[in-house]
Amino acid sequence: MELRILSPTAILGYGFPLSSFQAGLERDPHVIAVDGGSTDPGPYYLGAGKSFTQRAPVKRDLYYLIQASLERGIPLIIGTAGGAGAKPHVEWTVDIIKEVLGELKATAKLAVIYSDVNPELLIQELKRGRIQPLGPVAPLTEEEIRGSSHIVAQMGLEPILQALEEGAQIIVAGRAYDPTVFAALPALQGYDLALALHMGKILECAAIAASPGSGSDCLFGYLQEDAFILEALSPQRQCTKLSVAAHTLYEKSDPYSLPGPGGTLDLRETRFEELPGGKVKVSGTRFVPTEKYFLKLEGARRIGYRTISIAGVRDPIMISQIGDVITAVKERVADNFRDIRDYQLHVHCYGKNGVMGALEPQPQPGHELGLVMEAVAPTQDIADTICSFFRSTLLHYGYPGRKSTAGNLAFPYSPSDISTGAVYTFSIYHLLEVDDPKGLFTVELREV
Write the DSSP assignment of 325-383 as a string of letters.
HHHHHHHHHHHHTTT--S-EEEEEEETSSTTTGGG-S-----SSEEEEEEEEESSHHHH
Residues 253 and 339 in one domain: no
Q: Give the strand order in the sheet containing 3-7.
A: 271-275, 279-283, 228-232, 219-223, 3-7, 31-35, 76-79, 170-173, 109-114, 442-447
Residue 218 counted as domain residue: yes
Residues 272 and 325 in one domain: no
pLDDT of residue 362 exceeding 90, the answer is: no
pLDDT at 7: 98
Mean pLDDT of all residues belonging to the chain? 96
pLDDT of residue 351 exceeding 90, the answer is: yes
> Which residue, 316, 321, 333, is CA-closest to 392?
333
Residue 414 counted as domain residue: no
DSSP 135: S
Residue 308 counted as domain residue: no
**Model confidence pLDDT, tens digit, residues 29-78:** 999 999 999 999 999 999 999 999 999 999 999 999 999 999 999 999 99
What's the rounded mean pLDDT across residues 188-199? Answer: 98
Residues 328 and 404 in one domain: yes
Cα distances (Å, whole numbers) of residue 394 to 307, 324, 342: 16, 12, 21
Cα distances (Å, whole numbers) of residue 146 to 165, 194, 254: 36, 37, 33
Residues 327 and 255 in one domain: no
pLDDT at 395: 96
Residues 372 and 231 in one domain: no
Contact, 15 vs 56, CB < 8 A?
no
Residue 307 counted as domain residue: no
**Model confidence pLDDT, tens digit, residues 336-347:** 999 998 999 999
pLDDT at 113: 98
pLDDT at 342: 92
**Model confidence pLDDT, tens digit, residues 284-293:** 999 999 999 9
Per-residue confidence band for 134, with pLDDT thresholds at 50, 70 and 90: very high
Residue 2 CB neighbour total at 10 angstroms: 11
pLDDT at 252: 80
**Model confidence pLDDT, tens digit, residues 195-239:** 999 999 999 999 999 999 999 999 999 999 999 999 999 999 999
Question: In angstroms, rounded to a whole number, what is the distance separating the alpha carbons of residues 157 and 287?
Answer: 14
Residue 388 counted as domain residue: yes
Helix, strand, coil share (%) of the chain residues, nearest 5:
35, 30, 40
Residues 148 and 200 in one domain: yes
pLDDT at 250: 82
Q: What percent of the chain has pLDDT over 70?
A: 100
Residue 365 counted as domain residue: yes
Residues 219 and 95 in one domain: yes
Question: In angstroms, rounded to a whole number, what is the distance separating the alpha carbons of residues 102 and 1?
Answer: 37
Residue 14 counted as domain residue: yes
Which of 168-177, 246-255, 334-343 has maximum average pLDDT? Answer: 168-177
> Which residue, 8, 2, 432, is CA-closest to 217?
8
Residues 28 and 131 in one domain: yes
- At residue 146, φ and ψ (nearest 5 deg) are -70, -30
Per-residue confidence band for 168, with pLDDT thresholds at 50, 70 and 90: very high
Pairing of strands 31-35, 3-7: parallel
What's the rounded mean pLDDT across residues 143-172? Answer: 98
**Model confidence pLDDT, tens digit, residues 107-120:** 999 999 999 999 99
Q: What percent of the chain has pLDDT over 90?
A: 93
pLDDT of residue 172 exceeding 90, the answer is: yes
DSSP 436: -
Contact, 308 vs 420, CB < 8 A?
yes
pLDDT at 341: 83
Contact, 321 vs 400, CB < 8 A?
yes
pLDDT of residue 251 exceeding 90, the answer is: no
> Which residue, 114, 109, 111, is CA-closest to 80?
114
Angle (CA) 49-53-54 rounded to 5° is: 100
> Which residue, 138, 118, 156, 116, is CA-closest to 264?
156
Residue 59 counted as domain residue: yes
pLDDT at 39: 93
The domain containing residue 320 runs over which residues?
A: 315-409
What's the rounded mean pLDDT across residues 149-178? Answer: 98
Question: In angstroms, rounded to a whole number, what is the distance separating the alpha carbons of residues 141 and 119?
Answer: 11
pLDDT of residue 364 exceeding 90, the answer is: no
pLDDT at 323: 94
Helix, strand, or coil here: 401? coil
**Helices in 38-104 by DSSP H: which ranges?**
44-48, 55-72, 87-104
Residues 205 and 277 in one domain: yes
Contact, 100 vs 62, CB < 8 A?
yes
Chain-centroid distance, C-alpha 323:
33
**Model confidence pLDDT, tens digit, residues 253-294:** 888 999 999 999 999 999 999 999 999 999 999 999 999 999
pLDDT of residue 366 exceeding 90, the answer is: no
pLDDT at 253: 84
Residues 231 and 365 in one domain: no
Question: In angstroms, rounded to a whole number, what is the distance separating the alpha carbons of residues 121 and 144?
Answer: 14
**Model confidence pLDDT, tens digit, residues 384-443:** 999 999 999 999 999 999 988 889 999 999 999 999 999 999 999 999 999 999 999 999
The helix (H) or strand (E) run that includes residue 197 is helix 193-203
The number of domains in the chain is 2
Residues 324 and 234 in one domain: no
Residues 273 and 356 in one domain: no
